[in-house]
Amino acid sequence: MTFEYKVVPAPTRGKKAKGVKTAADRFARALAETINAEAAEGWEYIRTDTLPAEERQGLTGRTTVFQNMLIFRRDGEAVEAEPRQEISVVTDITETHAPKLPSADTAQAVPEPSAKAKLNGAEKRDVAAE
């Protein structure tokens, strides 16, 4: 039997709730919510480990801190047996979704821009270059 493992950082703060007053009770609530959320996805809680991790301190220094990790597992064979959900993407755009372009018969004549408008556009740059 093979297992799949998942490691999640343990909560560092408690969660406020009605009727939960002490810091220990708030922390227990946050921990229980984390474990229950993973259990809902099929993960079984195994244990909590405290592991060393090296972090930067300042520009060149390093220090060792300890991280609390929650370890979960689930049956790896059951995960492989589950059908994967695939997302289909529609790449064909039909005429009902495409914008309608005017045909040559129904195209309206575009009025000629005035001389002042021409000077504000590209022709103004040509005049300045001369």
What is the signed CA dihedral for 76, 81, 82, 87, rounded to 10 degrees?
110
**Which stretches in the chain have pLDDT values below 70?**
78-130
pLDDT at 64: 95
Closest CA to 8 of 35, 42, 36, 41: 35
32 strand-pairing partners: none
pLDDT at 76: 82
Q: Which amino acid appears at position 100 of this protein?
A: K
Map out the domains of the chain as residue ranges: 3-81
pLDDT at 103: 58
